[in-house]
Structure 1
Amino acid sequence: MEAGGRRARRREAAEYYRGQRVPERMEEALNALFPLSPGDLYGELANYLSKYSKAPVICKLVGRKVLDGVGQPTLEVEIYCTVKNYEKRICSTVMSFHSQIPENALPEKIEAEEKERNDSVNTAVEWVNESLNTMLRDLEPTDQCQVDKMLGEYFTNKVEEKKNIQRQEEEEEEEAEATLALPPRAPSPATPPGKKKSAKPGKKSSVAERPIPPAEPADPVLCGSLAIGGTSLAIAKAGATISHVPLYSHIALLKHDQESPEEMTLPLPMVTLLNCEKMSPSKLKLVKEVMLIPPVQLSLKQGIERVLDIQKEMTRLLESPGKMPGPQPADGKKGRAQNSGKKSLPQFLKRISHLGCLTTGYDDVEQLLLVMQTACSNIGLELGTDVYLAINCAAHELMDYDKGKYEILTGTFKSPDEMVAMYGELIDKFPFIIALIDPLRKEDREQWSNICCALGSKCYLIAEDAATCISKLKTDQNINTPVCSGVVLKYVNETKVSDLIELTGILHGQRHITILGSPDGESSDDSLVDLAVGLGARFIKLGGLSRGERVTKYNRLLAIEEELAKNRNLRETKLEFVAFAEESQPENQLSDELPPPEQD
């Protein structure tokens, strides 16, 4: 009897676990006790218990060689963290290389540049996978200051190692020369750059001019330095991911000592429309890039759409030269002189530059601006009201050191003082140009001061070439650049996120505007946009609206605008020119707000 009872109870238990009768009662009981579904209940418990789990720490760094937007090698850094006792890939970042090989370079130059670039990337990969991987293990990715401090110390040690190796090589070379008893080398008769040859006796000098300052030596780039910048940025992305916030919010928190700003502004885009480099078959050398800046009254989305409309019309004009107007009088005698003879129309090269824009050539600046005005007028827009222009002059590429002058057109030379006067006439005639980038070499500091005093209240005078090495820009809380309205900062080489945060703080404190710019050798990583937004940059310079590595950044900027507008954190941008005071005027002179041109 007892055996039969046991068998009956076993059958009931089996039926219970098979879910034939009792699960309905179980479900009713669970619903009564826990209104959440089982899945939601487990999620709530997991979230609750996760508060008591150990904070994620870095467990592995992976560096690898990848290709950038033009097929050149560069560095990718991946971050893995230990999250709740499991190894998890958090994020990766791809660095942009600091320089681009010129398309018209000699074969020997191209070969040397490619070898140097490969060596630098290979060394960076080695640093990440070996030294940095060991050094940063078990650190929290949210501790950006500690990570950047260790990266800075590591880089400093590598620089010292390089110097010691160079000293040892020089000593060995001197010993070898002493052993061979070689005669001392005769000094070279060549004139160093920046110094003029002395005139022969009896020969009249055409114009008595001051010698120009010689070119400062280029800042050396340590082989492998990509690893420092790539790792710092990857850690910042990992910290944002672990904290469950966007990267731009994480950067803003780092900048404001973990206090989230109530409102944020978006940087205005400087969208490159035309690339007019010296390699183009034209006479004009003064203009490297022509950029469009939408007005602040438009949303970013509206501004990008307006720029696209102008780009389409410019493409149509350049592909149909017969439809382009001839030179028109801009005003007075200069206009009539312009019409006196026919000028050849600009030659359009049917390809997209590595900057993601149209490539073309022009005979002079006025012809270029005339075509821009025509394109805008054809679609019902007006330069200076509906859109503004910025010009990258890249003056450091124009200097003829034998003559000591800038070659602005083929065969046309101007001294630094004459350049200042020329820019004054240009801005007075075309007030819709609101920014000049690198109008002079960084060595012409006196002329930078002159042009800022003359034009600072009318347009921005931006230094880009002078800001190539971010780590050397700040000295004793000052900016080691010529007098200027602002600088273009590029995240390359040994730059660290903490460097950018500190530097932008100094710049903003000294009424400089900050522009985050992408290098010529760009990658598909869009972190630069988050950096610009989080740091509060006034402008962002990303190139044109073509090529995937450029467009992906504009798309990221549009996404951030949508997110900030949805959260009501978006503050309207204001543009103000810096009115540079004379020495006799107070230093706290107010800035002039950018007005639209007066309308009749």
Structure 2
Amino acid sequence: MGEEGGGRSCGTTRELQKLKQQAMEYYRENDVPRRLEELLNSTFYLQPADVYGHLANCFSKLAKPPTICKVVGRNVLDGLGLPTLQVEIFCTIQNFPKNICSVVISTHFEVHENALPEQAEAEEVERSEAVSTAVQWVNKTIMEELRGIAPSNQAEVDQVLRTFFESKVQEEKERRQLEKGLEDQTIAIPSPPPPPPPARKKGQRQGRTDTLTEKPILPPEPVEPVLSGSMAVGAVSLAVAKTSAMLDNNPLYLNIALLKHPQEQPTKLTIPLLMVSLVSCGKSSPGKLNLMKEVICIPHPGLTAKQGVEMLLEIQKHINKTIEMPPPPKTETKKGHNGNKRSQDSEQWDSIYNALGSRCYIIAGTTSKSISKLLENGNISIPKSSGLIIKHTNQTTMSDLVQITNLLDSKKHIAVFGSTEAESSDDSLVDLAIGLGVRFIKLGGLSRGERVTKYNRLFAIEEELVQKGALGFNEEHTFFSLHEEAEKATMAGGPPELLEPIFPTEVMEGSAKA
């Protein structure tokens, strides 16, 4: 026992001597004594508390930069009371762990009004499993992969998340192949033969076959699969970006702008034009309003965001008074939500775009693929449209958002940043839209707390940019007036119908599920 205790004591002494030697070398390399002497001379007439404050600031600059030490995922509720994912980031700052920030991401699931009970129950189970899987990913593998990485290195964080997600996709692919192999080994039960055609009565003439053959209906396009738990990737990427901004005492939109413009810091930032839903329509809507999904209004570019919203609130009051009447009773329907009727209307969509694309904006909504698929193919022209509605969901990282907006800018396409149906009160979406420099932002109606929070964040950023003199104006927001368009058409010898063009500020949202 004595020899063993003596050995431990010697080992401890050597470790202390080694630490002292490392500290002396650190002080010598960073010239700490001279810095302390200068600091004490400069603070000779200050109070002791001030001296200690200056000393703390001095040593804090010499400390190791913050690194991620813990990532926590939780199952929380969104604006509709449905489960979604919250992510918290902890960083080691001056040898102590500290909770920096948290974000809540919206799920990709849509809310179906006329879904059958069994369909609604299946979607509820699927949503719950997706969130639970995301929480498990965040609290285990993702936390281990990101531990020790500086949150300021967004590119490295996103690459780690991308590699992790690709491994999960490969695991899911191998699992499905194994299940398919097991199914192929089972003996297939032969299907019964088709029934014989009905016998024709004696003396009955055979019906005349129709010479006009109907055009076959194409099968619906398969729904793009979403890997369960993928929201963990997008949520963690956003949380790290927000953490980096808070540690640098910067707003999130500025850090996103620096990611988009790494060469030089932008001196001017623009506020995207609002796309506000004034009326949401459906089968229970009065009159002919059931022919459209929603009525969207865009304020004039010359107005501030706050002025535009105040004007739209007045318009909304008059609209509500005009259409205020008891809605017709809802009829029971046995059909579930059919989201594939427009997926085979490619010819009609092309015809609409060719006829109206030069006179108004035709924006692709749910017809557009996910951001990861668009980046993988590098093709954003299918379906034909003036632009796309992009959303931060699933495995979309901050690097992906920067890349897709750069791709849209290079193709002269319009980027509309939108929110999902089941959104949360997290207002990071507004910072992302401003930092990425998109043309429009679609936040929904002027109601419900999770939407109003985002509008208030937009007002705060606009006011902050005005105070800093950093509010810019996007020249692409300026539209031609009717008289200017008519004059151009007349001088060019265009057809008479061009004398009454459609307002170029109108937006048609193409949707495969409309």
TM bracket (short chain): 0.7 to 0.9
- Using a 3 Å threshold, how does the CA distance of structure 1 residues 269 and 538 change in structure 2: closer, same or farther? same
Alignment-derived partner of residue 565 in structure 1: 466
Alignment-derived partner of residue 259 in structure 1: 264
- Using a 3 Å threshold, how does the CA distance of structure 1 residues 468 and 255 change in structure 2: closer, same or farther? same
TM-score (structure 2 length as normaliser)? 0.77
Q: Aligned match of 2:174 in 164, 168, 172?
A: 164
- Using a 3 Å threshold, how does the CA distance of structure 1 residues 100 and 48 change in structure 2: closer, same or farther? same
- Using a 3 Å threshold, how does the CA distance of structure 1 residues 33 and 93 change in structure 2: closer, same or farther? closer
Aligned residue runs from structure 1 range 408-427, under 5 A:
none
Deviations 1:495-519 (A, max 9, x none): 1111110010010111001011000
Q: Is the 8 A contact 1:278 1:285 kept in 2?
A: yes
- Using a 3 Å threshold, how does the CA distance of structure 1 residues 75 and 40 change in structure 2: closer, same or farther? same
- Superposition RMSD on alpha carbons, in Å? 3.1
Matched, 1:575 2:508: no
Cα distance, 1:256 vs. partner? 0.7
Alignment-derived partner of residue 65 in structure 2: 55
Q: Is the 8 A contact 2:110 2:422 kept in 1?
A: yes
Alignment-derived partner of residue 508 in structure 1: 409
Residues matched between the structures, number = 430
Larger RCO, structures 1/2 (Cα 8 Å, 6+ apart): 2
Alignment-derived partner of residue 233 in structure 2: 228
| 5+ residue gaps, structure 1 | 1-29, 189-199, 322-345, 350-359, 361-395, 400-440, 580-591
Give the 3-state SS of the residue equivalent to 1:233 in structure 2. Answer: helix
Q: Is the 8 A contact 1:575 1:594 kept in 2?
A: no
Cα distance, 1:50 vs. partner? 1.9
Matched, 1:494 2:395: yes
Partner Cα separation in structure 1 for residue 274 and residue 43 of structure 2: 56
Q: Percent identity?
A: 50
Deviations 1:162-191 (A, max 9, x none): 11111111111221x23xx63268799xxx
Partner Cα separation in structure 2 for residue 116 and residue 282 of structure 1: 37
TM-score (structure 1 length as normaliser)? 0.66
Partner Cα separation in structure 2 for residue 467 and residue 552 of structure 1: 27
Q: Is the 8 A contact 1:468 1:490 kept in 2?
A: no
Cα distance, 1:258 vs. partner? 5.3
Deviations 1:217-239 (A, max 9, x none): 11111111111111111111111
Q: Aligned match of 1:452 in 353, 356, 362?
A: 353
Q: Is the 8 A contact 1:487 1:514 kept in 2?
A: yes
Deviations 1:3-22 (A, max 9, x none): xxxxxxxxxxxxxxxxxxxx
Q: Return the letter of the residue paired with 2:232.
A: A
Higher helix content, 1 or 2: 2
Q: Is the 8 A contact 1:252 1:535 kept in 2?
A: yes
Matched, 1:273 2:289: no
Q: Is the 8 A contact 2:68 2:90 kept in 1?
A: yes
Alignment-derived partner of residue 347 in structure 1: 327
Deviations 1:302-350 (A, max 9, x none): 001101111222223333x5xxxxxxxxxxxxxxxxxxxxxxxx8399x
Give the 3-state SS of the residue equivalent to 1:93 in structure 2. Answer: strand
Q: Aligned match of 2:308 in 303, 307, 312?
A: 303
Q: Is the 8 A contact 2:390 2:416 kept in 1?
A: yes
Give the 3-state SS of the residue equivalent to 1:465 in structure 2. Answer: coil
Partner Cα separation in structure 2 for residue 210 and residue 232 of structure 1: 47
| 5+ residue gaps, structure 2 | 1-39, 196-206, 331-337, 486-500, 507-514
Aligned residue runs from structure 1 range 82-93, under 5 A:
82-93=92-103
Q: Return the letter of the residue paired with 2:352.
A: I
Q: Aligned match of 1:80 in 90, 103, 116?
A: 90
- Using a 3 Å threshold, how does the CA distance of structure 1 residues 285 and 163 change in structure 2: closer, same or farther? farther
Matched, 1:528 2:508: no
Q: Return the letter of the residue paired with 1:267.
A: P
Matched, 1:472 2:479: no
Give the 3-state SS of the residue equivalent to 1:473 in structure 2. Answer: helix
Alignment-derived partner of residue 315 in structure 1: 320
Q: Aligned match of 2:296 in 284, 291, 298?
A: 291
Q: Is the 8 A contact 1:478 1:506 kept in 2?
A: no
Q: Mean alpha-carbon deviation: is it higher for 309-318 or for 569-578?
A: 569-578
Q: Return the letter of the residue paired with 1:575.
A: H
Partner Cα separation in structure 1 for residue 244 and residue 179 of structure 2: 43
